[in-house]
């Protein structure tokens, strides 16, 4: 009985659409973060003098510290975007699949 239900769900076009959307969106978000992270690491390796420049003349904070902090903020924003999409679009599709099963 459970395998019959699993087969019906797996063959449901809405389920296949949900899997495709979630996988694609997850990979897109991961690639965005990886590109930003590696760009920061490569800038540390090849342009350390630029990242060492202070934001203001009397400030103890450099551009490298600020960019590193903004990367963390960006990671939280990406997480928030994914959660928002999961709570709206993905959950609606999940509910539709449950009702049809």
pLDDT tens digit sequence for 6-62: 888 888 899 999 999 999 999 999 999 999 999 999 999 999 999 999 999 899 999
> What DSSP letter does each residue of the chain carry, written as one string?
-HHHHHHHHHH-HHHHHHHHHHHHHHHHHHHHHHHHHHHHHHHHHH-HHHHTSBSSTT-S-BHHHHHHHHHHHHHHHHHHHHHHHIIIIIHHHHHHHHHH-
Is the pLDDT at 63 greater than 90? The verdict is yes
């Amino acid at each position: 009985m459970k395998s019959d239900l699993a087969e019906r769900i797996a063959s449901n076009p809405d389920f296949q659409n949900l899997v495709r959307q979630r996988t694609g969106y997850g990979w897109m978000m991961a690639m965005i973060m990886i590109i930003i992270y590696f760009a920061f690491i490569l800038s540390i390796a090849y342009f350390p003098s630029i990242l060492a420049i202070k934001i203001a003349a009397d400030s103890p904070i450099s551009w490298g510290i600020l960019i590193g902090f903004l990367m963390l903020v960006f990671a939280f924003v990406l997480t928030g975007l994914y959660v928002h999409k999961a709570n709206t679009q993905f959950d609606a599709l999940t509910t539709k699949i449950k009702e049809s099963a």
